[in-house]
Amino acid sequence: MSAGAEPYREALAAAVRHATLWLESQSTRRVGPQQAARELAAAFDGALPQSGMAPAAVVDYLARHAEPGLMAMPSGRFFGWVIGGTLPAAMAADWLVSAWDQNSVLRYATPAIAAIEDAAGHWLLQLLGLPEESDVGFVTGATMANFTGLAAARWRLLKNAGWDLERDGLFGAPRIHCLVGKERHETVDVALRYLGMGSPTVVPADSQGRIEAAELDCALDRIALDHAAASGQSSPPALVLVCLQAGNLHSGAFDPFGAAIAVSKAHGAWVHVDGAFGLWAAAVPELAGLTAGVEGADSWATDAHKSLNVPYDCGVVAVRDAQALRSAMGLNASYLLQDVDGAGHPSQRVPELSRRARGVPVWAALKSLGRDGVAEQIRRLAASAAQLAEELTAVEGVEVLNDVGYTQITVAFGDDAMTRRVADRLIADGKVWMSGSRWHGRDVVRISVSNWSTDAGDLATAVDAVRTALEAARSERS
Ligand SMILES: *Cc1c(COP(=O)(O)O)cnc(C)c1O
C-alpha cells in the first residue's frame, strides 16, 4: 500500500521554508561562501549514525549546516563562469519532477514525460532556428551534449565509410580527422577523448577567438591531400569532423558559421556546434546575425542551465540525422525503432538509461516566458553586459579586452599581478563574484551576465565593487 503524502508533508514544508529563506537572502548576502569544504565537513562526516533522524529534521539540519558553504549563484550579483540563475516556473517544475519520480526511459511507460520533452524539444528547435527534423536529447550539460552529438557524428562517418562500429568497435577503424578552433571549450576535447578520437587538429582563431574560415579551409585541404597521398587518389575521401563554437567564454564571440560550414561541407565533413550559452542568441532578432548559418551544421550542443536559467543539470543535444543519434545511443544499437509510433524512446537519444525528467523544467521555462520572453531575457543579458562594459571602460585603470557583443566581458587591470590582486579583492569583498582566468597570455577577470534577475542595481553594485577593489589593490601596492 502506498504511504500517501503524509510521510512527505513535513519534510517538503521544511524544504519550502528553507528554500524561501535562501532565495530571500540572495539580494543582500555576500556572494561567496563563508566556509571551505574542510571547515564544513565536521557537520556532515564522521561515522554514519547508528540510528536515523526524522525527514523534516534532516532537511532542517542540512539547510542549517550547508548555509555557510553555499555560493549565491542564484544572485543577480553573481557574474562567475557562465552560470545562470533559475526561473521560478523551472524551479517549481523541477520539484514536481522529483515528486513525480518518473524514470524517463520508455515512451509508453512515462508518456507524459515523453510528450512534454518532445514539445520542449520542438520549441527549442524553433527558438534556436535549427532544422525541425532534428532529434533532441536532454542530457546533464553541454559536456554530455557535445559527447552525444560527436558520438552520432562518429557513427555516421564510420557508417558511410562502410565500417560497422557496433560490431567491430574502433580498433582498426578508418581514422576520423577532428578539427577545432584554437579557443574551443575544453569539454570538446574531453568529449573527443571519451570517444576514442584522440586530440584534434587546432585551427587558428582571430583576436576574438573566432575560428578563421580560411585557415579551416587550408587545414581541410591539407588533410584531403595527405589522405589521397597515403591511400591513393581513387580511395574514399578522408573522414572529417569539424567542431565550431557559438559563444566564446572570454569574448562571447561566435565562429563565422556561414563560411566555416560551407568549407567544411565542401570537404564532406560532419559539423558539430558547441553553443552552450551562445546558441540562445538565435532567439533574439537583433542578435540572430551572430548565429547566421548555424542551421547548416549537423549537430548542436547547448545548455538549458545557462542562458535559459533552468536548474542544474540540464543540457540539450540536437542531431539532424536521427538515425545516427539513435544508433550511437540506443540500447538496441542499429536504428531499430522498437516503439509504437516511430518517435523513438527518450533513452535512444541520450547516454543514460534511467534518468530524471530533466526536459520538464525546460518546457516550464519556455511556457512561462513564451517566445517573446525568451528573446527579452537573452536581449537583456547582452544589453546588461554592454552597459557594464561601457561603465567599466570609464573607470580609470580598467581595460576591457574583448569586443562585447553578447554576454561576456573580459577585463584586466594593468599587469598580471595587479589583475590578480583586484580579483582577490573582489572575491574577498563579497558584493559580487567574477572569475579569474587567463586569456591571450594575460591574467584576466571574466564577467558573465547570465542571470535573468540581474538588474540595474546589480550592475551598479558591480561597477562600484570593481572600483573599490581597484583602489584597495592600488593602495596595497603603493
Ligand atoms: C559551459 C560550457 C560547456 C560545458 O557545459 P557544462 O554544462 O558545464 O557541461 C561547453 N562549452 C561551452 C562553450 C560552455 O560555455
Q: Is residue 78 part of a domain?
A: no
Among protein residues, the one whose CA lies closest to atom 14 of ligand 1? 276
154 Cβ partners below 8 Å, 6+ apart? 165, 176, 195, 197, 241, 328
Q: Is residue 84 part of a domain?
A: no
**Choice from 82, 150, 185, 381 to test ligand 1 binding pocket (greatest atom count within 8 A of CB):** 185
Residue 83 alpha carbon to ligand 1 centre in Å:
10
Q: What is the pLDDT, as a whole number, of residue 337?
A: 46
In a domain, 280, yes or no: yes
Index of the ligand 1 atom closest to the CA of residue 246: 13
Distance 277 CA to ligand 1 centre (A): 8
Q: Is residue 85 part of a domain?
A: no
Distance CA 43, CA 48 (A): 12
Domain identity same for 321 and 384: no
pTM to 2 decimal places: 0.96
Length of the chain: 478
* pLDDT for the residue 233: 78
Atom 3 in ligand 1: residue holding the nearest Cα: 142
* Ligand 1 center from residue 301 Cα (angstroms): 9
**Hunting for cell 542540512 — which residue is that?**
62
Q: Which residue among 182, 187, 255, 294 has the greatest number of ligand 1 atoms within 8 angstroms of its CB, and so is best to mutate? A: 187
For CA atoms 238, 244, 249, 252, the dihedral sign is positive
What is the residue with the minimal CA distance to atom 2 of ligand 1? 276
Within a domain: 265: yes
Assign 242 to helix, strand or coil: strand
- Domain assignment present for 100: yes
Does the residue 77 lie in any domain? no
| 346 and 411 part of one domain | no
Q: For residue 393, what are the domain limits? A: 380-477
> Which of 190, 194, 214 lies closest to 203 in space, CA to CA?
214
User: Does 451 share its domain with 360?
Assistant: no
Q: What is the pLDDT of residue 339?
A: 54
Tell which of 307, 333, 365 closes a domain. 365
Instruction: Tell me which amino acid residue 365 is.
Output: A
- Residue closest via CA to ligand 1's atom 15 equals 276
Does the beta carbon of 303 lie inside 6 Å of ligand 1? yes
Q: Which atom of ligand 1 is nearest to the CA of 247?
A: 13
pLDDT of residue 336: 46
Long-range residue pairs from 411-416, CB within 8 A, at least 24 positions apart, any chain: 411/444, 411/445, 411/447, 411/466, 412/442, 412/443, 412/444, 412/445, 413/445, 413/470, 413/473, 416/442, 416/443
pLDDT value of position 1: 66
Whether residue 429 contacts residue 357, with contact meaning beta carbons closer than 8 Å, is answered with: no
| CA dist list (Å): 100 to 103, 348, 356 | 9, 22, 10
Cα separation, 192 vs 150, in Å, equals 7
Distances, alpha carbon 232 to alpha carbons 92, 158, 403, 412, in Å: 60, 19, 46, 52
HSE at residue 463, side-chain half, CA atoms within 13 A, is 18
Residues 271 and 181 in one domain: yes
Same domain, 318 and 406: no
Quick: pLDDT tens for 247-258.
999 999 999 999
Q: Which residue's alpha carbon is at the smallest distance from atom 1 of ligand 1?
A: 276
DSSP code of 80? Answer: S
Q: Which helix (H) or strand (E) holds 409?
A: strand 408-412
Same domain, yes or no, for 167 and 298?
A: yes
pLDDT at 181: 98
Strands 176-181 and 239-245: parallel
Long-range Cβ pairs for the range 215-223 (8 Å, 24+) = 216/179, 216/242, 216/260, 216/263, 216/264, 217/263, 219/179, 220/179, 220/263, 220/264, 220/266, 220/267, 220/269, 221/267, 223/177, 223/179, 223/267
The pLDDT of residue 340 is 52
Distance between CA atoms of residues 185 and 181, nearest Å: 9
Q: Is 446's C-beta closer than 6 angstroms to any atom of ligand 1?
A: no
User: Which of 38, 72, 106 is the last residue in one of the domains?
Assistant: 72
Coil, helix or strand for 437?
Answer: strand
Cα–Cα distance, 331 to 148 (Å, whole number): 14
Q: State if residue 248 touches ligand 1 by the CB under 6 angstroms criterion.
A: no
Radius of gyration for the chain, computed over Cα atoms and rounded to the nearest angstrom: 24
SS3 436: strand
Q: For ligand 1, say whether the CB of 274 is within 6 Å of any of its atoms.
A: yes
Secondary structure class of 118 (helix, strand, coil)? helix
Q: Are residues 311 and 207 in the same domain?
A: yes
Spacing, Cα 8 to ligand 1 middle (Å): 35
Same domain, 32 and 153: no
| Domain match, 324 and 208 both | yes
pLDDT digits (tens, 9 = 90+) for 12-48: 999 999 999 999 999 999 999 999 999 999 999 988 9
- The answer to whether the CB of 277 is under 6 A from ligand 1 is yes
Please report whether residue 247 resides in a domain: yes
Q: What is the mean pLDDT of each run of 10 residues along the chain (478 residues)?
A: 89 98 96 95 92 97 97 97 96 98 93 97 98 97 98 97 93 96 98 96 98 98 95 89 98 98 98 98 97 98 98 98 94 56 84 96 98 98 98 97 98 97 95 96 98 98 98 87
User: Ligand 1 centroid vs 473 CA: distance in angstroms?
Assistant: 32
What's the burial of 259, exposed, middle or buried (CB within 10 Å: 0-12/13-18/19+)? middle
Q: What is the CATH number of the domain that holds 418?
A: 3.90.1150.10
What's the domain count of the chain? 3
Q: Are residues 343 and 438 in the same domain?
A: no
194 CB-contact burial (10 Å; exposed 0-12 / middle 13-18 / buried 19+): middle
- The Cα 113–Cα 417 span in angstroms is 52
Whichever domain contains 215, its CATH number is 3.40.640.10
* Best CA proximity match to 158, nearest among 173, 172, 147, 146: 173
Q: Does the C-beta of 345 come closer than 6 Å to ligand 1?
A: no
Indicate which residue's Cα is closest to atom 5 of ligand 1: 142
**186 and 312, same domain (yes or no):** yes
If asked whether residues 282 and 398 sit together in one domain, one would say no
